[in-house]
Amino acid sequence: MSCFLALMANSFPPELKSRVATHCSAAVLASLIRVDKSYQAGAEPILYRHIILHAGTRSAEILLNTLNSIPSRKPSFVRSLIVRSPQHHNHADDQLESISEALCNALSKMQYLSDLRFYLASREIELQNHVKSLLCSQLMRLHIFHCTQYFDIPTIACAQSSTLKTLGMESGDIQDLFHVVSTTVNELDSRGMSKPVMFAYECDGYLPVFDVLTVFPDMLAADFSWQPILESYDSNNGSIPTLSREHVYTVNILLKDLFSVDQKFIGNLVEEMSEFFPSIHRLEFISQQPSPLWKEWNQYSNFVSIISPLTELNELGFHDDLLLTEQIQKRKEPSEQHFLFARNCSAACPKLRSIGFLRGPVLERDVEKGEDWQQWKAFYDYQDN
């Protein structure tokens, strides 16, 4: 293909060569440039538009040398940059440190960069500080930024607030997530700045795993929408295969107070979520503030209609941030109200097989056998202290 196009190059006007370049793969474009330099002007903006840099590899070293060569227009072509940690974790720190200066030097020339993502397996302080300084200098205006919780997220969010639409971060301890997000929101609010949509994703080693999402809707209130999150997924152009709406199976909705939030707001949130991510199997509501125990059941009956759009839902949970794992021994025996709520939920979501109640029992059922709800067997022997 590249040889044929090169042979035809003399008969192609420059604008047609640019059109040809838009329909070629990266490999074909690279070959075209090697065979015929006349394609370079049209091919390079496409070749360098989306870059994935694997730290510690020879290709990363060559790429950074190319971007930092003088003179070079190549950094100005970059619109999206993903930086991944080395695959061998034992040397991750050393390899990240070795490219930190070259990477930040290249970043300083990417004035049109709008999508920046760091998927790191280690806490590289020097790199984080360099990146923060660059983003605070506003040399670039980001629309999407992904990073670990170790970055100074509040400072970066404020510096990029005029354009930043989506802020993704690696998930971790629930309390740490609450702290980072609430600090960021408070800082933006105190300065009268617009807030990006923030969410967290799981990581498997140094790679992001996007089948689990954690969101903070009531902290963002009117600024929250699923659309920027979905766009954040789709903008990778297939570079990470799992970034698609069909691969999101679990959603954690973190709320300041589970039962003081407007139920209509939560209902609209879940309904919109079902449209964007139709394959959700597990939904967890997690409250930052200690919530009252199930005293007023009318507060919970609303959740039957709230979850009804989730046709694939298997597991439903209500949790207190501080009691996710520590209070298992104190879970109470289920009451008839627990069973009634479970039956109503399974009528709305026929595939539902497990419900975990706030500071209460976990109920389960065998959907295939058509069994009724019963207490999760693992808790049969636990007694209240």
Q: Is the model more confident about 297 or about 118?
A: 118
Structure confidence by residue, pLDDT tens digits, 136-166: 998 899 999 999 888 999 999 999 999 999 9
Under 8 Å between Cβ of 225 and 197: yes
Peptide bond into 14 cis (omega under 30): no
Give pTM, 2 decimals. 0.83
Percent of the chain exceeding pLDDT 90 equals: 43
Please tell me the predicted confidence (pLDDT) of residue 320: 76
* 362/29: higher pLDDT: 362
Mean pLDDT of the chain: 81
Say if residue 241's pLDDT is above 50. Answer: no
Alpha carbons within 13 A on the beta-carbon side of 150: 14
Domain ranges of the chain: 1-47
Per-residue pLDDT averaged across 235-257, rounded?
69
Calpha distance 109→301 (Å, rounded): 55
Which residues, 6 or more positions from 190, have their beta carbon under 8 angstroms from its beta carbon?
none
Q: How far apart are CA 250 and CA 254, in angstroms?
A: 13
- Per-residue confidence (pLDDT) for residue 120, from 0 to 100: 81
